[in-house]
Amino acid sequence: MSRMPSVFRVLLPLALLSCTGLILAGCKDASSNNSGASEVRLQGAGATFPNPLYQKWFSEYNKLHSNAKFDYQSIGSGGGIKQISSNTVDFAGSDATMTDQQLQEAPAELLHIPSVLGAVVMTYNIPTLSGTSLKFSGDTISGIYLGNIKKWNDPKLVADNPGVNLPAADITVVSRSDGSGTTAIFTDYLSKVSPEWKDKVGAGTSVKWPVGLSAKGSEGVTGQVKQSPNSIGYVELIYAEQNKLPYADVKNAAGQFVRPSIQTVTNAAAGSASSIPADLRVSITNAPGTDAYPISTFTYFLVYKDQKDQAKGKALVDFLWWATHDGQKMAPDLIYAPLPAEVVQKDEEKIRSITYQGSPLYKG
Amino acid sequence: MAVSGSAEFPVLTADFNLRRRKLKSRVMTGLTMACAVLLIGILLAILLYISATGIRQLSLGFLVNNPKPVGESGSGIANAIVGTFILIAIATVIGLPVGIMAGIYLSEFASSKFGRVVRFLIDTLTGVPSIVVGVFAWTVIVHPMGHFSALAGGVGLAIIMMPIVARTTEEMIKLVPHSLREASLALGAPVWRMSLGVVLRTAAAGVATGAMLAIARIAGETAPLLFTALSYNYMSTDINQPIASLTYQIYYYAGSPYEEWHSMAWAATLVLVGMILVINVAVLSVVRRRA
Amino acid sequence: MASSITPPNTYEPAGGPGPFPSVGARTRALFPSGFGDWVFKYSTLLFAIGIAGLVVAIIVSMAQNSTLSVAKFGWSFLTNTTWDPVHEQFGAAAFTYGTVVSSVLALLFAVPVSLGIAVFLVEQAPRRLSYPVSFLIQLLAAIPSVVYGMWGIFVLAPLLRTYVYPPIQSALGFLPIFQGPTNGLGLMTAGLILAVMIVPIVTAVSTDVLRAVPDTQREAAFAMGATKWETTQVVLGAARSGISGAVILGLGRAIGETMAVTMVIGNRPEISEHLFGPSYTISAAIANEFTEATSELYRHSLVELGLILFIITFVINVLARLLVWTVTRGQGSARA
């Protein structure tokens, strides 16, 4: 042993340690399968936006039902869609609805179940105007992001903000570089209010931005807006709130300038409730209603209609029911907008339709 | 530089520009010292930045608790610490022997043409973006298995680790003087004994440096884990299931809207750097004792 | 780094570096212990081929997953600068430009500094100082790339935007590379962050390489009246091959870096000569858009970007090797 090269002397104990660790880990796995306790472990992944609320939900639900262990990781809406379609997770979260093609490519029928609502707000940093709330309209926002409106004191902006002393400075436009549901909602809204945007750029999780620079993540956009004077960006409401950035009122379809808040977002969902299709895939941007915030969105759970594992399927439907009912009460504390009653009803129908070998799983 | 004498044995004339050469030498010494100071300065700046926000989250609870939802106190990264350790262990068990053996092959045995091709390919692997490795590991392990796992994460990290270890091992072994090789062979040692017992032992410090660099590198990787080990919010040592990791937690907390989570990200960074420091010290002290 | 003090090449066997002219001949010559050697040789070969095989497997996997975009765009993919996911127009030119320029910038900043530090640690610093300092520098390698990115956004970029870029722009603004927007996020910033990230690995390997150059070289140079710097030049010359290996490792890291780069480079897919302005690299694009790629063509285009990155790495590696080979020709490596 003493003649062993020093490298081996280090590697051997390291290797032994690792192997022991791995064997122990393997044993643990075997024993937990035979434990007899009906612990059910479900893995989910997907949208980043609702993650803080989902973590709260899973933690609270686990306190009520200690045998159900849910885990959710935010890898993005697209990631969630891909993983559920590849059957590597039990359920997924997504801000964006799946396209017809994506649904067709999935191995079995997938259901969209709206879980909560959120808003994308326009945040800005104008040093000379700290404390003032600005007003934007679809016209001005699309103009800024298209590069047509270049300065803060552009006549269109001045017209929407009477009495505000907008500076004669260039606008630094900040967008998202990573594909995200936030971008999808924002560009969806712009496509509805601006034909030029729809034609030139279009909507999607990732688009070709005509002007400006892109930052990674909502955190990146927030950071960049905070650092750059005379800049504008779009982020989820919670980022603007937590980072104490000002955000603007936006003109909605009814011509009113609406302040983004939990209430106005729920109003947007309620306003579009009548036009929600049967599969619940809907865009609620630019929703009708006098007090509806125009850049609002559902976020969805994606689950298979026909579950392959009875225990997991049962735990899943029970959780979904709880989340769309009791769970909604926890949403406002974390600045998420709860579902309006009409949508909860539609969710109930969907949850009842989830089956295992033909018979519905939810009994309640 | 002015020289006189024959081309084979240049002799520098003493006075002619001795003063200039000496000045040049002193300037360059100063410059090299400046480089070192600059970099230490940057390191300190980064560490200070991390500590400034992270220190206040660093507590015993932070190190032994699992994550909790936002707003609840007592959140911690215990599962991430264990997870990172397990991932590094798996990656090292797979990547280190493969890398060292490949490095030995490249330096001892590779005849020019074939060795050059293999070396070339291994060099290319060092430049592969970690996210591509992650996607490859997803295609080859996660998708067929049907679920994310720590094992897949370890394999992904091992793929990143292997070429770094192989190349540094090769470079370090090439530096061992031929006389040592010749002496051990003259004493009758078989080639494998010479390679492992004499050459590798002499190059041990350098090989360990390479291994440490590789471990530090993979300990700081996030992208491959997104596709392989994913993450997990509870404590787990199961290599067949998703597992938490410090880098993923840092990535996630840093990108969140909450100040509290930001400082947790920085605190987790301090823990990660501390872990690597400990591993570094442990390995280098064992290896250096022989040097 | 021309040095007229080069030791005559008397150490190398005529056939070049390597223990024996032919492994097969040697194994046969040592037949009594031939089996152990045979096992040793072939097991190391197996591992080496394993890694090389992995690379091939990755390339094959990527080739299979990029057929749609190759079929649709063909060669124009390489020259097109448009990247429009909504209208499904994809082109790699802007990303290629960003990747190459940011890596070159990173090397330009990192290699002199790394070599400077390595020289300082090996040639000039007292032993007691050099080990702790080299240890501290390796610590930089342990910092996750996400943290580098955050430090870049919140510390480095504002610093550059306020104190560094404006003076450079006013002094050297007649050069197009220094014109344009200076809001901190851009090619130069990315190059700087990458440089900081690759210094540890280049320094660590170079330090080990320089330390291994035998003292006889230094003593010989001193004996002939060389100053400290001139001796260092000799040592560097002797260590060229190892240093080029270090540089290639550093370059690999710079090309493949995703997180830190995407946070500070501005993520704008267009080719611009303004070094302070935003740009985009292949790794950053893949990291940003891969998980959210909504259509097969989109995903295939991103994978094709990855393949192009492989090609860039190949080309730069070949050029680096050619450079080393040209420069080291005629100068033996110093091994006693």
CATH numbers and ranges of domains, chain A: 39-117+297-360 (3.40.190.10), 119-270 (3.40.190.10)
What pLDDT, on the 0 to 100 scale, is given for residue A33?
41
What pLDDT, on the 0 to 100 scale, is given for residue C335?
43
Q: How far apart, in whole angstroms, are the C-alpha atoms of residue B125 and residue B129?
A: 9
Interchain CB contact of A88 with C (< 8 Å): no
* Superfamily grouping for domain B78-290: MetI-like (1.10.3720.10)
Instruction: Look at residues A124, A97, A325 and name the one whose alpha carbon lies nearest to residue A231.
Output: A124
Evaluate whether C261 touches C194 at the Cβ level (below 8 Å).
yes
Q: How far apart, in whole angstroms, are the C-alpha atoms of residue C217 and residue C171?
A: 45
Q: How far apart, in whole angstroms, are the C-alpha atoms of residue C116 and residue C134?
A: 12
Instruction: Look at residues C182, C161, C193 and name the one whose alpha carbon lies nearest to residue C259.
Output: C193
Interchain CB contact of C331 with B (< 8 Å): no
Q: How far apart, in whole angstroms, are the C-alpha atoms of residue A97 and residue A109?
A: 14
More confident residue, B245 or C180: B245
Residue A258, beta-bridge partner list: A250
Confidence of residue C1 (pLDDT cuts 50, 70, 90): very low
Alpha helix (H) ranges present in C20-178? Answer: 23-29, 34-64, 67-73, 76-79, 93-119, 127-140, 145-151, 157-159, 165-172
**Taking all residues of chain A, what is their mean pLDDT, rounded to a whole number?**
86
Interchain CB contact of A220 with C (< 8 Å): yes
Alpha helix (H) ranges present in B105-177? Answer: 112-126, 130-137, 143-145, 150-174
Interchain CB contact of C148 with B (< 8 Å): yes
Q: Which residue of A has its CA nearest to C289?
A: A179
Confidence of residue A302 (pLDDT cuts 50, 70, 90): very high
Confidence of residue A35 (pLDDT cuts 50, 70, 90): very low
pLDDT tens digits for A191-210?
999 999 999 999 988 899 99
The answer to whether the Cβ–Cβ distance between A26 and B239 falls below 8 Å is: yes
Q: Which of C87, C267, C295 lies closest to A213 in CB terms?
A: C267
Instruction: Look at residues A123, A108, A357, A88 and name the one whose alpha carbon lies nearest to residue A239.
Output: A123
Tokens, residue C328: 């080291």
Evaluate whether A129 touches A229 at the Cβ level (below 8 Å).
no
Task: Give, for A72, the enclosing helix (H) or strand (E).
Answer: strand A68-74
What pLDDT, on the 0 to 100 scale, is given for residue A329?
93
More confident residue, C4 or C153: C153
Backbone angles phi, psi at B22, to 5 degrees: -65, -40
Question: Residue ranges of the domains in chain B?
Answer: 78-290
Task: Give, for C90, the enclosing helix (H) or strand (E).
Answer: strand C89-90
Lowest mean pLDDT among A12-26, A81-95, B173-187: A12-26
SS3 (DSSP) at A211 = coil
The answer to whether the Cβ–Cβ distance between A207 and C86 falls below 8 Å is: yes
| Integer angstrom CA distances of residue B28 from A250, B185, C123 | 61, 43, 12
The answer to whether the Cβ–Cβ distance between A25 and B93 falls below 8 Å is: no
What pLDDT, on the 0 to 100 scale, is given for residue C27?
43
Confidence of residue B60 (pLDDT cuts 50, 70, 90): confident
Lowest mean pLDDT among A22-36, A117-131, C163-177: A22-36
The answer to whether the Cβ–Cβ distance between B89 and A21 falls below 8 Å is: yes
pLDDT tens digits for A5-32?
555 565 665 666 656 555 554 444 443 4
The answer to whether the Cβ–Cβ distance between C120 and B131 falls below 8 Å is: no
List, as own/partner pairs, every contact residues A162-165 make where C-beta atoms lie below 8 angstroms and the sequence separation is at least 24, other chains included.
A164/A129, A164/A132, A164/A134, A165/A128, A165/A129
What pLDDT, on the 0 to 100 scale, is given for residue A27?
44
Confidence of residue C2 (pLDDT cuts 50, 70, 90): very low
Say what angle helices C187-212 and C127-140 make with each other, to 10 degrees. 140
Instruction: Look at residues A47, A44, A74, A341 and name the one whose alpha carbon lies nearest to residue A185.
Output: A47
Alpha helix (H) ranges present in C142-289? Answer: 145-151, 157-159, 165-172, 187-212, 215-223, 228-238, 240-256, 259-264, 282-289
Q: Which of C39, C313, C336 lies closest to B127 in CB terms?
A: C313
In a mutational test of the B interface, the residue from A2, A8, A18, A31 whose CB has the highest number of chain B CBs within 10 Å is: A18
pLDDT over 80 (residue C323): no
Residue with tokens 């962050």: C193
What pLDDT, on the 0 to 100 scale, is given for residue C16?
44
Q: How far apart, in whole angstroms, are the C-alpha atoms of residue C101 and residue C109?
A: 12
Q: Which residue of C has its CA nearest to A231?
A: C183
Evaluate whether B154 touches B239 at the Cβ level (below 8 Å).
yes
Chain A residues within 8 A of B231 when measuring between CB atoms: 73
pLDDT tens digits for A126-171?
988 877 889 999 999 999 999 999 999 999 999 999 888 899 988 9
Q: How far apart, in whole angstroms, are the C-alpha atoms of residue B82 and residue A26?
A: 15
pLDDT over 90 (residue B6): no
